[in-house]
Amino acid sequence: MKTRYVPSTELLERAQCGEMAAIGRLITRAEGNVEEIRSTLSTIYQRAGRAHVIGLTGVPGSGKSTLVGTLTARLRTKGQKVGIVAVDPSSPYSGGAILGDRVRMSELVLDPGVYIRSMATRGAVGGMARATLDVVDILDIGGFDTIIIETVGVGQDEVEIAKASHTTVVVSAPGLGDDIQAIKAGMLEIADIHVVSKFDRSDANRTMVDLKKMLTFGAMTSAGTGWQTPVVGVSSLSGEGLDELVEKIELHREVARSSRGDARRRAIATFRLQKTAEHLLVERFTKASASAVPALAERLSRRQGDPYALANELLASAAASS
């Protein structure tokens, strides 16, 4: 069954009218890095920028997906249209992925004011996929007011989300005291809002106290904005704390939108620019160097040269052939 290939420019017009299938197809093409969509993505980027982007991150099993679900339901009661980009890891072996975040958001599916899209990391590190921010732009022009990026379950170093979102929410679950120790160098620093999830559990308060204590060791407010990072206990089960979380998010959005958010906006643009250049570079290099790799790798494995010298040779040959 061959069907007509709908040009991306046409999909864009339909996506702006909120047509779900058109938004879906644009995302697929952006994710697939299809040549044909690049000029349309340029238009999309220039039309986007209206939505508030929330990055939600935390260790695996901390309750991110469930929280995205309950938070979205709460934002909907305030009349906001919500787009969700849920990132899950690709298998390093097969490249395949099980994208399971949707299962925890099933009550939202039939709400036309909610769009959920799952993405696999496809080898990208940092907690997001290569095209995650393109997807955010597409949802933005599709009329979604708030867009939540749910990262993969992260460890210590996956802090890119802070440079991709206006408001970064870090989720910690109770009972993982050691993990809090472990994340304090990376994730504690990037949070604009801390959430202690599963707050119905008896040990949740302990986690909250730990987090607050940890915060007092660092700077109490983030430089330039005067924003004081709150810690909010949330139970998705009972709904406790959700109103407070929404309120903090709204407060932070005001800060982010004001002149106090200038530095953050520049940081986001810088990150996007550098990351995109990096992708282009890798793409070109991989293509230009492919033919030279096997012979050089062979020499390296025979120890007929060292990694730096041979890598330099590889770079030189790629430069020559591109």
For the CB of residue 236, give the shortest distance to another protein in the complex, in Å.
Answer: 16
For the CB of residue 83, give the shortest distance to another protein in the complex, in Å.
Answer: 10
Distance of CA 210 to the CA centre of its chain: 26
Length of the chain equals 322
What's the number of CA atoms in the CB half-sphere (13 Å) around residue 293?
A: 7
Q: By CB under 8 A, which span of 86-94, 180-188, 247-255, 260-268 interacts with another protein?
A: 86-94
Could you say whether residue 275 binds another protein (CB under 8 A)? no
Residue type present at position 223:
A
Could you say whether residue 170 binds another protein (CB under 8 A)? no
Could you say whether residue 94 binds another protein (CB under 8 A)? yes
Q: By CB under 8 A, which span of 89-97, 208-216, 246-254, 304-312 interacts with another protein?
A: 89-97
Distance of CA 158 to the CA centre of its chain: 10
Dist CA 42 CA 64 (whole Å): 31
Dist CA 215 CA 115 (whole Å): 34
Could you say whether residue 120 binds another protein (CB under 8 A)? yes
Q: Which of 202, 112, 210, 126 is nearest to 165 (CA)?
A: 126
Cβ proximity to another protein: between 110 and 223 the closer is: 110
Reported as type and span, the H/E element at residue 118 is strand 114-120
Q: By CB under 8 A, which span of 26-34, 54-62, 261-269, 275-283 interacts with another protein?
A: 26-34
Interface size with another protein, residues (CB under 8 A): 35
Count CB-CB contacts under 10 A for residue 258: 10
Cβ proximity to another protein: between 11 and 208 the closer is: 11
Binds another protein by CB under 8 A, chosen from 3, 202, 216, 301: 3
Report 29-68 residues binding another protein (CB under 8 A): 31-32
Binds another protein by CB under 8 A, chosen from 16, 118, 285, 310: 118
For the CB of residue 98, give the shortest distance to another protein in the complex, in Å.
Answer: 5
Reported as type and span, the H/E element at residue 321 is helix 307-321
For the CB of residue 312, give the shortest distance to another protein in the complex, in Å.
Answer: 32
Coil/strand/helix, residue 168: strand
Dist CA 75 CA 96 (whole Å): 33
For the CB of residue 314, give the shortest distance to another protein in the complex, in Å.
Answer: 25
- Cα–Cα–Cα angle for 87, 92, 95, rounded to 5 degrees: 70
| Contact residues: another protein, CB under 8 A | 1-3, 5, 19-21, 23-25, 27-28, 31-32, 90-91, 93-100, 102-103, 106, 109-110, 115-118, 120, 122
